[in-house]
Amino acid sequence: MRKRLLPLVSVLCCCLCLVALAFAATRADTTSSGAVTITLPPPNNNFKPGPNLALAQDKCLTCHSADYIYTQPPLTKKQWTAEVTKMQKAYGAPVTDDDVAPLVDYLMSQNGKPD
């Protein structure tokens, strides 16, 4: 019984792969040079009002959209401080040591959770 199913399963897998490839080929736009282009949704560059909004817009939107803040799970003040420090130290975000606390205050007002 197992030997009979193996060829059938193999054929089904091949068919599914071909269907997936055909679907992908019809979904992508190609230019005359054969390059594939995609259309991404526009980024959300609007932070909601809160303390130190201008600072957050100046420092955070340099690297990513506002959606990045709002799609994260809520973080504690300690966790947001670690995130901002990581952006500053590891990723080279244009954040000074004096910017960290006000940015954390803004992030806590938008997506913070109590300690």
Max mean pLDDT among 4-18, 36-50, 74-88 falls in 74-88
pLDDT at position 39 is 83
From CA 53, how far away is CA 46, in angstroms rounded?
Answer: 10
Q: 53-111: what fold?
A: Cytochrome Bc1 Complex; Chain D, domain 2 (1.10.760)
pTM: 0.62
pLDDT at position 67 is 87
pLDDT at position 38 is 82
User: The tokens of 65 are what?
Assistant: 């959209």
From CA 84, how far away is CA 93, in angstroms rounded?
Answer: 9
CA dihedral 71, 87, 38, 46 (to 10 degrees): 50
In the predicted structure, residue 30 carries a pLDDT above the cut 90? no
In the predicted structure, residue 84 carries a pLDDT above the cut 90? yes
Query: What's the whole-number average pLDDT of the chain?
Result: 82
From CA 80, how far away is CA 12, in angstroms rounded?
Answer: 49
From CA 81, how far away is CA 97, in angstroms rounded?
Answer: 11
What are the structural domain ranges in the chain? Answer: 2-37, 53-111
DSSP notation for 2-56: HHHHHHHHHHHHHHHHHHHHHHHHHHSEE-TTS-EE--PPPP---PPS-TTHHHH
